[in-house]
Amino acid sequence: MRYFSNFIDSGDHFTYVCLSYFIVFLILFLMFFLSYTKTKKLEKEFTLLSKNETKK
Amino acid sequence: MIFKFANPLRFQKFVSKYQPTLLYLSLIFLVCGLFFSFFNSPPDYMQGETVRIMYIHVPCAWFSLMIYSLIAICSLFSIVFKHTLADIISRASAPIGASFTLATLITGSIWGKPTWGTWWVWDARLTSELILFFIYLGLILITTSYEDKSKGDRYASILAVVGIVNLPIIKWSVDWWNTLHQPASISKLSSPSIDQSMLTPLFIMTISFLFFFVSVLLMRIKAEIIQRKIDVIRFNRVD
């Protein structure tokens, strides 16, 4: 806990560290989110197409 | 083992089963890693509190190199054996590798400001890492710009294999040239030059990123396989 409270009181360094963590997690979250939505969209499209194919 | 999962259908089943588990594991390790990074690790005697940036910067840098190695191996495999799954893995890995490289560059830049007094220097390590980012962008651009996927994959494979010369440059740039970037602290596992209290969060964050990478990679591979199936259905319809 002492390390953490010293870190919070570290002024400029606190901003630099928080900014770094925020940017990394944002990039990784976007990567995950875009991959997830792409997969779901394609899954839907594929199910629809295969249904149409079997009807024919 | 490899050839067992080289079957796209079997691979898809494997992904659906294990991908969410890997993501949960990644989150668990991330929470542990954050705890050790902020509550259980002291500031560095020279860098002060900014040393905490290292716990995400270093794993990102390792993965930027590791993912490129994976792409290069798959590309070589694709050129030699013309196996579709190798192309699919390369295609799926490139955006993840680019993300890790971008994260490395940004966190390195933020770390550089309080430590070196500047956001950016044309240092050998930084420049070679930037080149790696451009190679990743090139791979993404090539694979997406051709209507004929096999053509795009072939050209991307060639670029990936040629681009591997950049990896040793990144790795040993700090030893070959007089750079501002510090030399590797964990080159030999037997005697790392950083304290155990700093090594623990670093390794936990690395494991978290590893699970995240594999999880997203499996998801992207699955998307790529479905995309190819859709293309086949559409192609047959036009025929």
Structure tokens at B79: 């050129």
Strand partners, B110: none
The answer to whether residue B236 sits within a structural domain is: no
Torsions phi, psi for B162 (to 5 deg): -65, -40
Chain B residues close to A21, C-beta within 8 Å = 56
Residue B147's CB is within 10 A of a number of other CB atoms, namely 6
Burial of B143 from C-beta contacts in 10 A (0-12 / 13-18 / 19+): buried
**Do the domain assignments include residue B191?**
no
Asked if residue B188 has pLDDT above 60, the reply is no
**Confidence (pLDDT) at B191:** 66
pLDDT over 70 at B46, yes or no: yes
Residue A28, pLDDT score: 95
Give the model confidence (pLDDT) of B202-216 as tens digits.
Answer: 999 999 999 999 999
Cβ count near B12 (within 10 Å): 16
Cα separation, B190 vs B210, whole angstroms: 22
What lies within 8 Å, CB to CB, of B77 at 6+ separation is: B83, B86
Q: Is the pLDDT of residue B47 over 90?
A: no
Residue B237 lies in a domain: no
**Cα A56 off chain centre by:** 40
Number of folded domains that form chain B: 1
Mutate to test the interface with A, among B26, B62, B107 (most CBs of A within 10 A): B107
Contact A39 B43 (CB under 8 A): no
Q: Which helix (H) or strand (E) covers residue B67, if one does?
A: helix B54-81
Q: Which residue has the higher pLDDT, B11 or B215?
A: B215
Q: From CA B154, how far away is CA A9, in angstroms rounded?
A: 54
Identity of the residue numbered B97? G
pLDDT at residue B3, as a whole number? 57
What is the mean predicted confidence (pLDDT) over B106-124? Answer: 90
**ipTM for this model:** 0.90
Q: Look at residue A29 in the predicted model and tell me its pLDDT.
A: 95
Could you tell me the residue range of the domain that residue B139 belongs to? 20-183+198-231
> What local confidence, expressed as pLDDT, does residue B158 receive?
93
B15 lies in a domain? no
* Domain residue spans of chain A: 2-55
CB contact under 8 A, B52 and A14: no
Residues present in chain A in total = 56
Residue B94 pLDDT exceeds 60: yes
Lowest mean pLDDT among B164-173, B179-188, B216-225: B179-188
